Amino acid sequence: MQYGELIRLVADLLKEFDSTKPVHKSFRPGIGPFGEPQIVAQIAKRLVDNGVGAKTKRTPDLAVNLDWAIEFKIVRPFGDNGKEAENWSVNLLHPYAGNVSLIGDALKLSKLTEYNRRGLFLICYEHKPPKIDLEPLLASFELIARQIAHIQLSSRH
């Protein structure tokens, strides 16, 4: 499976899951308040239900068909209260191995040898139309990953 196909499938599965209006703790219905482990578990379950071999792991977050190693991060600029969250962009930008940022995850993925392919998957929540343009954050991530952390990234999907 090509990465673009996997991205579309996961996006469709997330949209389908969100349409069920799931409730997480005392937050408003929908997948927005769910944390990364809960979202990745739902993705894995729904991939398996659709005939795709998938398993959650410590590293990578998700193994797909014993071929793809995927790390996930969530970008959530606003809380359930509609106010801008504090430190919402840090999950992407810390350029240190061992850190929980997406750059740290990319460095972990680069060391995995048992998978043919590796991918980073960013789940972004925003208003429609956006209140905060996420493009500067994504471009900053790519710049730091490539030029500071020396991570080879393919083009963004």
Which residues on adjacent β-strands are paired with residue 8? none
What pLDDT is recorded for position 143?
Answer: 96
Q: Is 84 helix (H, G, I), strand (E, B) or coil?
A: strand
What pLDDT is recorded for position 82?
Answer: 82
Along the chain (157 residues), what's the average pLDDT of each consecutive run of 10 residues?
Answer: 92 95 89 92 96 95 94 90 86 84 93 94 89 94 94 92
Q: In angstroms, rounded to a whole number, what is the distance separating the alpha carbons of residues 92 and 72? A: 10
